[in-house]
Amino acid sequence: MTATSRVLVVDDSAFMRKILCDLIALDPQFEIVGTANNGREAIEAVRVHQPDVITMDLEMPEMNGLEALERIMRIHPTPIIMLSSISDDGTRETIRALQNGAFDFIRKPSGPNSPDIQMVGEQLIEKLRIAVLTKRHSSLYQQASAPAPASAPKKSAISKQKETFTFDTAALPKPASRLDAAKASKEMPDQAAMNETAAASSKHVEPSKPAAATGLGRSVAKQEKEMPKPAPSQTLQSDSDVPAKNTSKPAPNRNFRHLVAIGTSTGGPRALHEVITALPGDFPAPVLVVQHMPPKFTHSLAQRLDSFSALHVTEAVHGERVFAGVVYIAPGGYHMELAKDREGYCIKLSDEAPRGGHRPSVDTMFESCAAFTELRRHSVIMTGMGSDGMKGMKVLNDSGAESAIAEAEESCVVYGMPRSAIEAGFAKSVVNLRQIAAAITQAVRK
């Protein structure tokens, strides 16, 4: 008989705790060992019950989910799945949680009779299973340090602590004004089942008119009617853990010889924070990023990365120009490709069918870069479930790409996507997360 996995449910609403417990109880693999209605109770429950996995609400009285996450990851590292709303505040706080060590997140169900309850339950069970497997096989959850003395000053959620999966951030330039991408309003099933309900609250906007493109698939011009138009930027409010910065960032450069493309999934926000914030301000190449994530969340991810990075980080907009020194994150619900027209390189977004359950797809992005053999291309696959990116990495290699980096197992939250690329023989180098930025920087300076 398979041993059951122990689950702790943390939420300040007794109603929501009941819904979550009922959903989890549908799978005999899991046993609810305790519940808590705020972060302080959660920390004590972790000490008493030592659960295998935790579900954690973000907004709670006395101690919120972010602070509880930080403390639990310091004293007893445990996979934590955050319960998130799709409000702007909810998506921003979710990104903070993921960068500070949360394993994954799901959208909070709206009620026991809502049409999305079954979908949310299926997602929750799947993520719980993956979290438990990850804890059993990953060294990331094996180390814990003693709690800080009561008299010690409170540690920042972004101080560098390996055991908490958090990061060291020096004072970096403040984000410049930029354009936001509007969010998708229809989504795919499977991997983006949560995207479907998240997108339901997104609003359509009139399309922008990008420059006509040639080459890959449908032209940029032909997709003009389908794409969101840029909207005025809503600068992310400074969080308490964001250090003050000056306002200057290097001017984007249209001239470049190198291109970097990064793909990631579960554990990706943390990994992207580690890599993107370590790239220098004079980085001489554009960086294209696919992170499997629903609409609205990719926008918050881009904003938060931008606030810590020396580079410009933006959620990609259909038809916008591609520059060195800019990181383009594929918006949830759209494939992102590199395209080219008479004026130069540009972003192409499409809502074509998901690939392997993913939209955006890493394979789609990688394969779009293969056509541009005049560029010295560098692909990177980091933590995530499944094998997205493996086929695209091969296509890039076959077209003459210079680098093909896979994240090493010991630093992955989920060793799925990198493992697929490594075992297939397509990764040319295997690099620990903390060395990936240095490896990329060295490659593009050759």
With CA atoms as reference, report the closest residue to 433 among 240, 192, 264: 264
Taking the C-alpha atoms of residue 225 and residue 217, their distance in angstroms, rounded to an integer, is 16
* Tokens of residue 30, six digits: 């899991």
Which of these is catalytic: 138, 156, 202, 265?
265
Can you list the alpha helix ranges (DSSP code H) found in 58-199? 65-75, 88-99, 117-137, 193-199
Task: Give catalytic status of residue 388 as yes or no.
Answer: yes
For tokens 């972003």, name the residue. 347
Beta carbons of 46 and 76 less than 8 angstroms apart? yes
265 catalytic residue (yes or no) = yes
CA distances from 255 to 335, 344, 370 (A): 25, 9, 19
CA distance 251 to 268: 27
Residue carrying structure tokens 């609003």: 203
- What is the distance between the alpha carbons of residues 195 and 190, in angstroms, rounded to a whole number? 9
From the list 292, 312, 318, 335, the catalytic residue is 292
Cα separation, 265 vs 263, in Å, equals: 7
315 burial level (CB within 10 Å; 0-12, 13-18, 19+): buried
30-36 and 53-57 beta bridge pairing:
unpaired
Catalytic residue among 388, 403, 411, 420: 388
Active site positions, annotated: 265, 292, 388
